Chains A and B, each alone.
Chain A
Amino acid sequence: MTALRRHRKLSAIWSSEPGFRGWFSSVNHSDLGRMFLVTAFFFFLVGGVLAMLIRAQLATPHSAFADAGAFAQFFTMHGTIMMFLFAIPTFEGLAIYLLPKMLGTRDLAFPRLTAYGYWCYAFGGSMLLVALVFGIAPDGGWFMYPPLTGPLHSPGINTDFWLIGITFVEISAICAAVELCVSILKYRAPGMSLDKMPIFAWYALVTALMILTGFPPLILGSVLLELERAFGLPFFQADLGGDSLLWQHLFWLFGHPEVYIIFLPAAGVISTIIPVMARTTLLGYGWIVASAVALAFLSFGLWVHHMFTTGIPLMGLAFFSAASTLVAVPTGVQVFAWIGTLWKGRPEMHLPMLHIFGFFFTFVIGGLTGVMVAVVPFDWQAHDTAFITAHLHYVLFGGFVFPILAGIYYWLPLVSGRKRFFRLGEVAFALIFLGFHGTFLAMHWVGLMGQRRRIETYDAETGWGAINLISSISSFIMAIGLAMVLIDVLIHAFVAVRGGRNPWKAGTLEWASMSPPPAYNFASLPHVTSRDAFHGDPGLANRLAKGEGYLGDPQSARRETLTVDIATGDPDFMVIYPGNTRLPILMAAVTGLFFLSILIKLYWLTPLALAGVAALALVWVWRLGARTDAGPQDAGRGVTLALAGETEKSPGWWGSVFLLVANATFFGSLLFGYAFLWTVAPGWPPQDWLAPSLVELGIGGAAALTSALAMRLAIRGNRHRARPLPGLAFALTATLVTAVTFAMLLSRVPPPDGHAYAATLFVLGSYALCHALIAGLMLAFAIARARRGYTSPARQAEFHIVSLWTDYLAVIATLSLLAAHLPGFLA
């Protein structure tokens, strides 16, 4: 087969539907990555316009352009859009687009999930846009502190848009994070052991893990606040046993890691580009990986530094203050490793490097002011002034926007297959750089003079007018620069001349694909033997195109790739992907219906939408798998592999593991909230505890444990005698008993709108009930699959996935029951 015929054949198998219809049914990572990026930059534009409105209003004293209410919507939406709808999705888009190419494989682990995540993002983001257009946008500041955002002080729908829209968008972040974790760990070119992974993959992995553990606290907070707003469950009301501080903890448990979730991918981009620009390899690869991991760990210990002024005891302050400054160490290690890399090689000044220079200058200043802010007494003076806003932009713009601009210019030739020919980019950089520093140096300055953030105007006597005017004019200069980048990119994408492969002479595998890359990325998969796989081997691209790698022989119409052992990178299974489908967009739409029904209080629709989601999820998984054993498959180069469905730890199993990590963080945050309210909130203990019942505790706990054990029985029955059904039926019964116990518990909970205790119990019980039902549904599904012949001793993957969920149920059911009954026994 010639390279061209192979290309035609693979394209026929992998292509999306032609034209715009393809957008709705594509599950291809290159398509979806681009869609993510385009949408994210659209939101950057919206957020930027809002920033311009803010700066226009503040340019002069006593400006009458926006009143306090409109101004509040401006800054709240600016912050919200930039953090949730621009920064995080930009990371997702970049990682989704690049990773399979960098890792030398054909797609991500769960193509349909990629698409589902994208549509959740698009629909959730649209909700917020609608709110903005109609002037009913959230207005409590991007961290939405109750009671200001509670039902009493913000009765309008504005806050609900935030809570519901952002939660919807976060589903997309969780989906992407699960997918990236599994993809990076399992979906690599054979031979690419962990220590040969491109550095960007390490950063993306750490970031994805942080999303899985950082977002659930905020999702929980949003759920609780929405329950308070919609149904009066008083989690944040001090007179009913709630505490508004709980929100602050949950928010910053998310909010601080969020800053690193934004920074780490950018650092990954920098670590990728710098060695290429300096014609060398990265200095201290292992050290950089270690400091990224250290940063991730430290950042979770730091949330309290946003609450220095809430009245935390001094010992606590000392601890968090020290920890906050400690994060500067791994950051310092990375910064110096990058400079050391430049010293090690022979750096050349191309456009991406200019933006990286912008990053260094800006980010180091931001880091230094950050260390100042972390020093407690200084924070008491600077907290909530324009100084903080300015610091935050030095970190976010310096640490994210500049690196991303560098990344855009670096990878643009790959995406478009073209060459830049105007010098527009250099001019744009100069405008952005000067404009940025003009804007925010001025804001540091007025902040120190006492200008608070979030004020819609100020008096002329304050003497802040001139500085604010400088800031506003500079911000418009920056905006012109950013607009020029946009024009530059458009010119590049549509009219520039065609360029050759690998213009930067980079060593990572994405450049061994064609430019622009075809839907299948590589006609055959490489065998990787070094970190810079493409560097010492320029003939690699041609050999791959000629089918000399793995899976170079497209036999049937299957989308094939293979997975590898996590540590060593030896190939272990073959994967068949699902093809184009509209199921993801449909499921996202029905998920959206669920959120919409809560937003506009059409509660009869809520259970219907949920049932719809469950039904679609069943269709989703039903479509996978086969009714006969396929046996070992030829993967090329003399390797035969089993199909992933015929193993214990299939991709779905790994996906469940990471989803459960996020889920467990959610549950842990809920228990934290319970303990926090109990010990800190005024108005505790409640008047009476739930009447404890040994019977309920015993039956519920035993049933949940039984379902986990019975599931193991089913697996053994399947393996040895091909008879999973008795075990499955047993497990299903036990799961249903668990569900009934929790339903009874819920019926005995005191009125949840009376006290935060009852409200918390209600949520805890509902959470457990919900998981019992999910496990029940999965077991029923497994029974149906077994009866229809979709399982066999070899095709066992589904049972192992269900087993994970019954195990999880056993753990959370037991803990929930203990948390519900113990206080009553102790009292």
Chain B
Amino acid sequence: MLAGAAAILALVLGLLLAAFRRRGTASDEAAGVKVWIIGLGFVFSMSVLAALTVYGLFAGQRLMPGAGAGVEAGVGTRVGADVVSVSAEARQWSWRFAYDDRPDHITDDVLHIPAGRPVDVAITTTDVVHSFWVPRLAGKLDAIPGHVNTLRIEADTPGTYQGLTAEYNGPGYRAHVFTVEAHDAQSWDAFVAGDRQ
């Protein structure tokens, strides 16, 4: 994407500078319209955009829970036994996580997930708007009062991932962070069984 952007920038600036260097005859209006407005203005911009949009949609599809399901629905067609469901509840300024697989358990500011399995995070808030973001696992999704938004995340390898809040939510905004712990299969089972803490 960056290379394409640089190429377009170079094209525009090149044409701009060339206008100052050129010492030929002035072109007439009709020819100018054909080249500059129809050619470069329409055809060129359209084709660049079409390419980008198609790319964007394909990439977007992969990040969604379930193929094309509404995010609020939370249950998509790809939900199988394999998918783990957790919930994330934001407040000023902490995150509280709960687990479908271990109903009586909550954790604050640490989210436990299994590595290598898709996880649907049901995100909501008790006070203001927050945003759930684990940069290395997925894009962000907002926590909105009265709504539950579901985000699919997946960690390929076990380990600790940094999570952030990405919507200004008052003076505690900067320190409003959390961690995601991705477990291997064995320690996830142990977590679910409850003999971890």
Contact = CB atoms under 8 A, between A and B. Distances in A.
B27 A343 contact: yes
B1 A372 contact: yes
6 contacts: A310-B149, A312-B71, A321-B57, A333-B45, A335-B41, A361-B13
B147 interface: yes
Given A68-B172, A364-B9, A452-B164, A309 B37 contact: no
Interface stretch (A375-383, A529-537, A624-632, A794-802): A375-383
B175 to A, nearest CB: 9
Nearest to B14: A339
B33 A153 contact: no
A682 interface: yes
Contacts of B52: 325, 371, 375
Given A326-B49, A339-B15, A682-B147, A381 B61 contact: no
B145 A454 contact: no
A375 B149 CA distance: 20
Nearest to A682: B146
Interface string A220-245: 00000000000000000111000111
B167 A145 contact: yes
Nearest to A332: B45
B71 A329 contact: no
Contact of B129 (A148, A237, A239): A148
B146 A313 contact: no
Interface stretch (B62-70, B81-89, B97-105, B178-186): B62-70
A581 interface: no
A339 B46 contact: no
A384 B36 contact: no
- Chain A contact residues: over half helix, strand or loop, or mixed? helix
A340 B32 contact: yes
B139 A380 contact: yes
Interface in A140-184: 140-141, 145-148, 152-153
Nearest to B58: A377
B32 A321 contact: no
Interface in B114-156: 127-129, 131, 135, 138-142, 144-147, 149
Given A148-B129, A379-B139, A325 B53 contact: yes
B7 to A, nearest CB: 10
Contacts of A369: 5
A683 interface: yes
A455 B129 contact: no
A286 B71 CA distance: 44
B8 A318 contact: no
A361 B62 CA distance: 35
B67 to A, nearest CB: 9
Interface residues of A, number: 88
A770 interface: no
A-B residue pairs, 8 tightest by C-beta: A380-B139, A238-B146, A340-B36, A333-B41, A332-B45, A375-B56, A311-B149, A342-B19
A336 B37 contact: yes
B146 A681 contact: yes
A68 B53 contact: no
A344 interface: yes
B35 interface: yes
Nearest to B135: A450
Nearest to A247: B129
A292 interface: no
A372 B19 CA distance: 28
Interface of A: 67-69, 72, 140-141, 145-148, 152-153, 237-239, 243-245, 278, 280-281, 283-284, 287, 291, 309-315, 317-318, 321-322, 325-326, 328-329, 331-337, 339-347, 349, 357, 360-361, 364-365, 368-369, 371-372, 374-381, 383-385, 450, 452-458, 681-683
Contacts of A317: 60
Given A336-B36, A342-B16, A381-B139, A329 B42 contact: yes
A358 B8 CA distance: 17
A823 B9 CA distance: 55
B16 A332 contact: no
B162 to A, nearest CB: 8
Contact of B131 (A309, A332, A371, A458): A309
Contacts of B27: 343-344
A152 B138 CA distance: 32
B144 A245 contact: yes
A341 B5 CA distance: 24
Nearest to A321: B56
Contact of A452 (B49, B142, B166): B166
Contacts of B13: 360-361, 364
B142 A287 contact: no
Contacts of B128: 145-148, 153
Contacts, number: 237
A454 B168 CA distance: 7
A334 B40 CA distance: 10
A347 B20 contact: yes
A336 B36 CA distance: 6
A526 to B, nearest CB: 25
Nearest to A291: B41
A558 B103 CA distance: 84
B40 A332 contact: yes
B146 A457 contact: no
B78 interface: no
B45 A328 contact: yes
A349 B37 contact: no
Contacts of A450: 135, 164
Contacts of B68: 314-315
Interface string B23-41: 0001111001101110011
A67 B173 CA distance: 12
Contacts of B189: none
Given A140-B168, A284-B36, A344-B32, A365 B144 contact: no
B127 A346 contact: no
B171 interface: yes
A683 B170 CA distance: 26
Contact of A325 (B8, B49, B69): B49
B193 interface: no
A280 B25 CA distance: 13
Contact of B169 (A67, A148, A309, A457): A148
Given A239-B146, A343-B27, A365-B9, A329 B45 contact: yes
A685 to B, nearest CB: 15
A314 B61 contact: yes
Contacts of B20: 342, 347, 349
Contacts of B37: 283-284, 287, 333, 336-337, 340
Given A72-B171, A287-B33, A343-B36, A311 B147 contact: yes
Nearest to B57: A318
A141 B5 CA distance: 30
Contact of A314 (B12, B40, B64): B64
Contacts of B138: 380
Contacts of A244: 129, 144-146
B72 interface: yes
Contacts of B71: 311-314
B167 A147 contact: no
B149 to A, nearest CB: 4
B53 A322 contact: yes
Contacts of B164: 450, 452
Contacts of A360: 12-13, 16
A287 B149 CA distance: 44
A384 B26 CA distance: 47
Interface in B92-113: 92
Most buried by B among A239, A340, A345, A347: A340
Contact of B44 (A146, A152, A332): A332
Contact of B70 (A238, A314, A331, A337): A314
B38 to A, nearest CB: 9
A540 B60 CA distance: 61
Most buried by A among B12, B35, B69: B12
A326 B62 CA distance: 23
Contacts of B53: 321-322, 325, 375
